[in-house]
Structure 1
Amino acid sequence: MNSVLIGKYNVPGPRYTSYPTVPYWDDESFTAVAWKESLTRSFKESNAKEGISLYIHLPFCESLCTFCGCNKRITKNHGVEVPYVASLLKEWDIYLKLFKERPRIKELHFGGGTPTFFSVKSLQFLLDGLFGKADKAEDFEFSFEGHPNNTLPEHLEVLAKYGFRRVSYGVQDYNETVQKAIHRIQPFEKVKSATGAARKAGYTSVGHDIIFGLPFQKAEHIVHTIEKTKELMPDRIAFYSYAHVPWIKGNGQRGFKEADLPSAEEKRRMYETGKKMLEDAGYVEIGMDHFALKTDSLYKSVEKKQLHRNFMGYTSSTTQVMVGLGVSAIGDSWYGFAQNVKGVQEYEALVAEGILPVYRGHILNEEDLIIRRHILNLMCKLETSWKGDDLKFPELPEVLISLKEMEKDGILKLDAEGLSIGELGRPFVRNVCMAFDLLLQRKKPETRLFSMTV
């Protein structure tokens, strides 16, 4: 990796799971009424045609992993499960009243937190409640995030009966020093056992998450972790950069010093080393940070030009509506975003009163919708076009001028009707998106909001 390019483009930037990005949402003019209107409009347009996505946030963890940036609540008290699931189903009922017809669920994902903190019985209660008032769409894909240390064969088998065929396990790194620093002690044998149990239960896509740039991590740790990963050959791998944002995520990420983290150049060396090893093993790089075998649905979605990106990350199919249930969950109507309150007690109290528990959001205007399409194209296809008038916007000439430097550096190619990002430019796709991010260009943040792009 060119160290000059790293030094030049390694700046704070969004990961673009949405546009506008959350710090640039217009919270002041957002209302729950406007969110509901955008959602009902979108549901009418899309439910019969493609169905909806459903993201459910299950926030509880028994211990704190210090690398984690997710909204979580640390507890060993499993008595929290039943009231929380009951609240999720009450929130689901609020949305069902808005929709006025049975939703067709195409994508369902359990995130966290640690979804496998919940007992099999609690998850069954949740799923029975969801599907008592909804149907499965054609070609549905249901998935969950599993902790290798506590995902039981019973979890896998019961969820498989409801149609789950994809699970992702957080591996991060197999080196003991790194594991101690991030408070995630997880032997290879645990991951091997959980991976084998998933395949035995009929899961067709088993994923592993590997992070580079963790405290005390070195290039040889990445080599060791990927060598061990190759023994199991998961169907897809999320290989992504650690986002060090302690000013946002609080005390969890203050468990080690900045000096304990590898430099930007060391991180890129880790990425290049890992990428080559994965490609040599038969994995194909997809979008940003993701690799998949050619037999996996994520790779097939690229071939069919169906790869999509939202708050769940990369997904293998597109739905116009994504409903988010649970604390901090974000919903997406395509025309708007809304995020739930982050505290468990506040969330449960609101839904008990029949109140939609959103506390902030953004309704997209025409400019937002155009820029959103460009950024989705770049993140999912590594290219975009302004051939049609519907993808042109007044500031486009200025954006193209700002991209000239990246073109000179070999990151992208420009022509009269579009641009494409080459192999050299893959690590800098976020930087290319930032050139299109009009809200970011108009108001540069005065404080650190985002992790570094490299």
Structure 2
Amino acid sequence: MCSLIKKYNVSGPRYTSYPTVPYWNIDAFSGVKWETTLVNSFKESNSKEGISLYIHLPFCESMCTFCGCHKRITKKHNVEEPYIDTVLKEWDLYTQLFSEKPKIKELHLGGGTPTFFSPENLKRLIEGIFRKAEKAEGYEFSFEGHPNNTTREHLQALYDVGFRRVSYGVQDYNETVQKAIHRVQPFKNVKNVTEIAREIGYTSIGHDIIFGLPHQTLDHVKETILKTKELRPDRLAFYSYAHVPWLKGNGQRGYKDSDLPTPEEKREQYEEGKKLLAQVGYSEIGMDHFALSKDSLYTAMKSGKLHRNFMGYTASKTKLMVGLGASSISDSWYSFAQNVKSIEEYKHLVNNNIIPIYRGHILTKEDQVIRKHILNLMCTYQTSWGYDNMSFNDVDTVLENLKEMHLDNLVLISENKLEVTEKGKPFIRNICMAFDVHLHRKAPETKLFSMTI
């Protein structure tokens, strides 16, 4: 395994989208083209499956140095109401383009720290959204909660407007690691908010755990998983720390590369952690995700309905996902569009009745086909190009890219079909990279992505 780690530990995307953002053709993109694909996707999907809504709430009171998300650090809570007013106005701009009332199937509050906002303001936000929308059948609403500031009032307010899933960022329970990543939160805090959520009636509680953090050892990972076992969250994200110190504003220059586990140590943390999770009752769900058999993510995997988008793995698929808030990304299936990142510019554009996108990508037919292959691999660990709608010109090149992985028994290739072996699952990002024709046609000149292992 060590030799495989050295061989395949390269910089690569996590494939929450295809094409990945650095390969968007922004020159061929326009707001008019985006709105056209948006309207078409809405017409095709709203009455059948509904749409998804992601709302980015960017404020945090302090900087967590492991985080690469777009955020604004402040302790001034007078920013809440003006920001929510702007998000609701942005939603109004979108609903004016739709031919009927949107049916929201999935809604997720991400950040930043959504629980930076008061319970009253979060409730006002959701009630404002549903003044111009309705809940689709089988809807699932979720939010990211910080264990240190999520209160009973937060949980109750969001439960009252339809939320049944919450995810808490745990990362690691070791105090040395917590201090390094500037995220000190005792186990008792996580226990408290987990138990309150259950008491209120939340049906899916998730914990996020990270391996490969600065000063983190294998024993730290095992200790965190055993503590997690005590609380038994319904699902877990157990994912690799993405060391991207070249990105602005993430605080990762606060520790040295030598403070991080080696790639071999990091892979051992993952492999041993995965074994321990299986022993305590969790099944692997796609890349980096685990769930108990009663959770909707597990059910979706078993029924072949698992989906992946900018929100990560989801239990149901919608063709259209609208992103609201500064830096949010929307996905019409035929195109991507990203909002401006500056909160001030975001407010300025929205308040002048302009949907605040600044870049995007219109997917070609080839993009759409390869996107399906990468989704298949990420969600089912197999794909096939034996059908006309799944065929593309560069199949031979992809097979050539996969040759070494086939020899290493990471994939099985038969006529027009690829299956990822158990041995190959930890290398799923590398396998998807073999299909990424944009990446191979124009290799990046500078480092764009975190390491795959």
Provide TM-score, normalisation by structure 2.
Answer: 0.99
Structure 2 counterpart SS, 1:48: coil
Q: How does 1:6-405 map to 2 (within 5 A)?
A: 6-250=5-249, 252-405=251-404
Contact 2:66–2:250 at 8 Å: present in 1 too? no
CA offset digits 1:85-127 (Å, max 9, x no partner): 0000000000001113100000000000000000011111111
User: What 5-or-longer segments of structure 2 have no aligned partner?
Assistant: none
1:452 paired residue number: 451
Letter aligned with residue 394 of structure 1: N
Contact 2:206–2:233 at 8 Å: present in 1 too? yes
Query: For 1:180 and 1:80, how far apart are their aligned partners in 2?
Result: 28
Query: For 1:383 and 1:441, how far apart are their aligned partners in 2?
Result: 21
Query: For 1:405 and 1:150, how far apart are their aligned partners in 2?
Result: 48
Letter aligned with residue 393 of structure 1: F
Identity of aligned residues (%): 65
Contact 2:29–2:359 at 8 Å: present in 1 too? yes
CA offset digits 1:302-325 (Å, max 9, x no partner): 111110000000000000000000
After TM superposition, give the deviation of residue 404 of structure 1 in Å: 1.6
Structure 1 counterpart SS, 2:53: strand
Structure 2 counterpart SS, 1:184: coil
2:417 paired residue number: 418
Structure 2 counterpart SS, 1:145: strand
Query: For 1:248 and 1:336, how far apart are their aligned partners in 2?
Result: 25
Query: For 1:201 and 1:340, how far apart are their aligned partners in 2?
Result: 35
Query: For 1:391 and 1:249, how far apart are their aligned partners in 2?
Result: 38
After TM superposition, give the deviation of residue 251 of structure 1 in Å: 5.2
CA offset digits 1:292-346 (Å, max 9, x no partner): 0000000000111110000000000000000000000000000000000001111
Query: For 1:323 and 1:60, how far apart are their aligned partners in 2?
Result: 20
After TM superposition, give the deviation of residue 39 of structure 1 in Å: 0.3
Query: For 1:249 and 1:271, how far apart are their aligned partners in 2?
Result: 28
User: What 5-or-longer segments of structure 1 have no aligned partner?
Assistant: none
After TM superposition, give the deviation of residue 128 of structure 1 in Å: 1.2
Query: For 2:142 and 2:77, how far apart are their aligned partners in 1?
Result: 22
Query: For 1:434 and 1:128, how far apart are their aligned partners in 2?
Result: 41
Query: For 1:219 and 1:197, how far apart are their aligned partners in 2?
Result: 30
Query: For 2:30 and 2:280, how far apart are their aligned partners in 1?
Result: 49
Aligned residues: 453
After TM superposition, give the deviation of residue 249 of structure 1 in Å: 3.8
Letter aligned with residue 25 of structure 1: W
Tell me the C-alpha RMSD between the 2 structures: 0.7
Does 393-402 or 225-234 show the bigger shift? 393-402
Contact 2:68–2:250 at 8 Å: present in 1 too? no
2:437 paired residue number: 438
Letter aligned with residue 211 of structure 2: F
